[in-house]
Amino acid sequence: MTEYHGQIQLALAGFYDVLTADGEVFRTRARGNFRKKDLKPLVGDWVTFSAETSKEGYILAIDERTNSIVRPPVANVDQVIIVTAVKMPDWSSNLLDRQLVALEEKHIEPVIYFTKTDLLTAEEKHDFQTIAEGYRRIGYQVVLPEKAFDEESLTQVKLLLANKLTVLMGQTGAGKSTLLNHISPDLQLATGEVSQALSRGRHTTRQVALINLYGGFVADTPGFSAFEVFDMSARELGQYFRDFNQFSDGCRFRGCVHLNEPGCAVKEAVAEGNIMTSRYENYKLFYDLIAGRRPVYNKHDKKH
């Protein structure tokens, strides 16, 4: 039996379609010992598998992952496009910063794409240009379309996809599926109106697949991703704020958590307008949220 190496492109009902470097696709199943080890292959995993035919393969080993996310379940993600509505649902810097922190912790590069910009008044549009510029200064790629899903913003997204594995995520109703449909009209993803009866949106997809778009791979299942929990300790939180890292070396105390310590360079940068006030306020909220959690004793300390 021949052994191959490739990346899982599709997971459906216990079957995994694996793409090799030669462009061949093999349908495989996971060996039973994965279940015993509580290890489940994910779309995006690089795997070694054996196969006699293209329809009968078995996954033998999973390469070490650089990262993985839960919704959608995908491994080795290079970037996440955070689809962020300016209205309907209302804009929330808290939600955006929460998503950015969660992605920084997983070493995934975020891209911010603002939707529904056509609903903004001229004054609101100016405010969002200031917000977008603030996030660009931190080092994030930000797409703020002049008109909803205009050609220029879609071109920016298409150029970002090359040689990367990309996932779209954001609040229900923010326009994730709509953005994917605009990037690739052939997809015809069910956009699923926000359910009136439920506060949560209906799930519109049942499988996870990677699709080849503009020289990269995109997960065709947008994530719901209400990041309600942080995996890091309160003391570690600050290191996942890129803007804080630009100044924290100047803090008087090593291990400064930028709250009540004297000689804090981060608080000074906020006061001088070099760090957005909204970012600092959200940091304090997140810090209190993490610090107020009950400790989970059965969880191994994460080594950094």
Residue list, annotated binding site for GTP: 115-118, 170-178
Query: Which positions make up the binding site?
Result: 115-118, 170-178, 251, 256, 258, 264
Number of residues assigned to the chain: 304
Long-range contacts of 177-184 (CB under 8 A, 24+ apart): 177/204, 177/222, 178/115, 178/149, 179/81, 179/83, 179/113, 179/115, 179/149, 180/218, 180/220, 180/222, 182/149, 182/154, 183/154, 183/157, 183/158, 183/213, 183/214, 183/218, 184/211, 184/213, 184/218
Cα 202 from chain centroid (whole Å): 20
The structure tokens 């040689």 sit at 163
Residue 234, judged by CB atoms within 10 A of its CB (0-12, 13-18, 19+), counts as middle
Query: How does strand 109-115 pair with strand 141-143?
Result: parallel
Annotated binding residues for Zn(2+):
251, 256, 258, 264
Token pair 């923010």 in the structure block, residue: 174
Contact 9, 50 (CB under 8 A): no
Phi, psi of 60 (to 5 degrees): -100, -35
DSSP label of 101: H
Residues 148 and 145: their CA atoms lie apart, in Å, by 6
Secondary structure (DSSP) of 36-82:
HTT----BT-EEEEEEEETTEEEEEEEPPPS-EETTTTEES--EEEE
In angstroms, the CA 168 to CA 79 distance is 9
